[in-house]
Amino acid sequence: MTSTLDLRTQDGSTAGTVNLDDTIFGIEPNLAVLHQVVMAQLAARRSGSANTKTRAEVRGGGAKPFRQKGTGRARQGSIRAPQFTGGGIVHGPKPRSYRQKVNKKMTQLALRSALSDRAQSERVVVVDAWHFESPRTKDAISALENLGLEGKIMMVVAANDDSTMKSFRNLPSVQLVEAAELNAYDILCADWLVFTSETLPGADL
């Protein structure tokens, strides 16, 4: 099954229609899988570099601070024990990976769910092609105004389309990605999803 969408031009006019594959843009979004995949994406972005020193790693403390017996105080073996100021940290964080295992099929389902959510919200725009004689941010702004796009825009561009990339890359509201870089989290963060005829996902997702 397929659904139909107007094929737009850079000046905002309609150049025909384009079919969206319902196996990609027409499924019922799986919220549970979306949540799990998005949380895994965010976890993978964590650097995991937090680090504290144990009593073995803190500088100093090699000598016994006072003799074992006869002082009336509790025996101590090092001034770098955790109970001392400047001592080691007990059970503190160490560098680690926060990555979560997510199956490939779950990642693909989450991507299709995110694309379907945007399509059902009528937030998908397909442009026949971008035509920039030379990279100009001013022309890119005019194109977005002609298409009636506002807010955060994810634009899927071809890898070899340098002129388009350079025209849009200075706009803070536009995120440029290639088709292979599409992911559920960034799609859900975007208000609009803009494809060209060349970058529109096919049934191979």
* Contact yes or no for 132/169 (Cβ under 8 A): no
Whole-angstrom Cα distance, residue 43 to residue 101?
Answer: 11
Reported as a pLDDT band with limits 50, 70 and 90, residue 11 is: confident
Q: What's this model's pTM, rounded to 2 decimal places?
A: 0.82
Domains in the chain: boundaries: 2-46+98-196, 52-92
Whole-angstrom Cα distance, residue 172 to residue 20?
Answer: 28
Distance of CA 116 to the CA centre of its chain: 18
Reported as a pLDDT band with limits 50, 70 and 90, residue 203 is: very low
The b/e string for 95-115 (b: 16+ C-beta within 10 A; e otherwise) is eeeeeeebeeebbebbbbbbb
Whole-angstrom Cα distance, residue 34 to residue 32?
Answer: 5
Give the domain 2-46+98-196 fold: Ribosomal Protein L4; Chain: A; (3.40.1370)
Q: Cβ contacts of residue 203 below 8 Å, gap of 6+?
A: 21, 23, 24
44-99: pLDDT as tens digits: 999 999 999 999 999 999 999 999 999 999 999 999 999 999 999 999 999 999 99
